[in-house]
Structure 1
């Protein structure tokens, strides 16, 4: 008989292992939040009580192509020098 237990909550005790069907379902839910709801990895981590690394790993396992970092990626020195000209 297969384990047909559905996850009821996406919050776990700190350091709790997430395996099997529960892990697959959590990965799909994280994928939905990340792609459809546009939540960040940090926001998903806060929502579920898990670390950035855990959420990142779950998204990668689910085959998600991660978004690039946001914000201005130029260095402060370069921004300052262009403002003076």
Structure 2
């Protein structure tokens, strides 16, 4: 998968420890090698609906996907994620 830095991506799994859900949108800000030679990690910054940063997380790159023109963004309360 070829993802460019600073592009929007969507999570492919829930991250309950961060209050995030599958489908939430984040910005890819960096890629990092796995410390033991495993899968490369994607560093993601997640913003709320008004553009404030609410989380920075690292997930395996296979756990995110690029956004496509046939998809639409939605809004939900972060409090509902718990």
Q: TM-score range by the shorter chain?
A: under 0.3
Q: Normalising by structure 2, report the TM-score.
A: 0.19
Which structure dedicates a bigger proportion of its chain to strand?
Answer: 2
Which structure dedicates a bigger proportion of its chain to helix?
Answer: 1
